[in-house]
């Protein structure tokens, strides 16, 4: 589950970054994009973190972060001038990093399922 925690941290950074880098009315689009994207990443990571028994497909909600991260990367690349402002560079780096996290499975630190089944049979 450490991958989801990383996504939550990156989502919090997306929400806080307009305040860190300074958001003026000229950068209103970036502020709005960062807020919506950050909240979406946090919500998707928390939904996939929650152990749903009835709706197991929700454990894959973190894959939706791929779309959000793609939006952040494209937005920061298209709307940034040359040279890019630090806020846009931060968004680009955060989006590229966020693209890596959905590939990490939810139970990445657990042994394979067959090993766990074998251990449970031995324990009985």
The reported pLDDT for the residue numbered 26 is 61
pLDDT tens track, the chain, 124 positions: 677 888 899 999 989 888 887 766 566 777 888 899 999 999 988 888 776 667 766 777 878 888 999 998 998 888 777 777 777 888 889 999 999 888 877 676 667 777 777 777 776 6
pTM comes to 0.78
CA dihedral 109, 114, 115, 118 (to 10 degrees): 140
The reported pLDDT for the residue numbered 24 is 61
Q: Give percent of the chain with pLDDT exceeding 90.
A: 19
CA dihedral 79, 20, 38, 41 (to 10 degrees): 110
What whole-number distance in Å separates Cα of residue 45 and Cα of residue 33? 18
pLDDT tens-place string over residues 7-40: 899 999 989 888 887 766 566 777 888 899 999 9
Mean pLDDT for all residues in the chain: 81
């Amino acid at each position: 589950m450490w991958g989801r925690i990383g996504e939550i941290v990156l989502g919090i950074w997306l929400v806080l970054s307009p305040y860190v880098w300074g958001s003026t009315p000229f950068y209103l689009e970036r502020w709005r994009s960062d807020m919506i994207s950050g909240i979406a990443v946090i919500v998707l990571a928390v939904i996939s973190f929650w152990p749903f028994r009835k709706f197991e497909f929700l454990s894959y909600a973190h894959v939706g972060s791929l779309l959000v991260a793609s939006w952040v990367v494209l937005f920061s690349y298209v709307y940034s001038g040359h040279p890019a402002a630090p806020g846009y560079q931060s968004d680009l780096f955060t989006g590229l990093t966020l693209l890596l996290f959905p590939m990490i499975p939810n139970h990445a630190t657990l042994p394979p399922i067959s090993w766990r089944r074998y251990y449970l049979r031995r324990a009985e």
